[in-house]
Amino acid sequence: MDFVFVHGTTQSPASWRPVADLLRGRGHRTVAVDLPTDRPELRATDYAAIARAQAGDALAPVLVGHSGAGLLMPAIARAVAASHLVWVAAVVPGPVSLADELSVDTGEMFNPEWRALTEPPTADPVVAAYFLFHDCDLAGVRAGLRTLRLFHPVATYREVHEVPQLPSTYVLPREDRTLRPSWMRRAARERLGVEAIEVEGGHCPQTSRPATLAAILGAAWPGRA
Per-residue pLDDT tens over the stretch 65-92? 999 999 999 999 999 999 999 999 999 9
Q: What is the DSSP string of 3-45?
A: EEEE--SSB-GGGGHHHHHHHHHTT-EEEEE---SS-TT--HH
Does residue 166 or residue 104 have the better pLDDT?
Answer: 166
182-204 average pLDDT score? 97
Distant-in-sequence, close-in-space partners of 22: CB < 8 Å, separation ≥ 6: 210, 211, 214
CATH number reported for the structural domain that contains residue 64 in this entry: 3.40.50.1820
Domain for residue 202, yes or no? yes
* Portion of the chain with pLDDT greater than 70, in percent: 97
Predicted structure pTM score: 0.95
CB-count exposure of residue 34 (10 Å: 0-12, 13-18, 19+): middle
User: Which residues in 56-212 belong to E strands, given as ranges?
Assistant: 62-66, 84-88, 168-173, 197-199
Mean of the per-residue pLDDT values for the chain?
95
10-15 average pLDDT score? 98
Domain for residue 20, yes or no? yes
Strands lying side by side in the sheet with 84-88: 29-33, 2-6, 62-66, 84-88, 168-173, 197-199
Residue 225 has pLDDT above 60, yes or no: no
Domain for residue 14, yes or no? yes
AA identity, residue 18: P
pLDDT computed for residue 106 by the predictor: 65
Domain for residue 56, yes or no? yes
Residue 222 has pLDDT above 60, yes or no: no
pLDDT computed for residue 219 by the predictor: 86
Q: How many domains are there within the chain?
A: 1
Residue 60 has pLDDT above 80, yes or no: yes
pLDDT band per the 50, 70, 90 thresholds, residue 173: very high
pLDDT computed for residue 104 by the predictor: 81
Helix (H) or strand (E) holding 104: helix 98-104
pLDDT computed for residue 224 by the predictor: 47
The domain of 214 spans 2-218
Residue 95 has pLDDT above 80, yes or no: yes
pLDDT band per the 50, 70, 90 thresholds, residue 31: very high
pLDDT band per the 50, 70, 90 thresholds, residue 221: low
Domain for residue 224, yes or no? no
Domain for residue 225, yes or no? no
Express each pLDDT in 120-139 by its tens digit: 999 999 999 999 999 999 99
Minimum mean pLDDT range among 72-86, 135-149, 210-224:
210-224
Domain for residue 223, yes or no? no
Other Cβ atoms closer than 10 A to 110: 20
Domain for residue 9, yes or no? yes
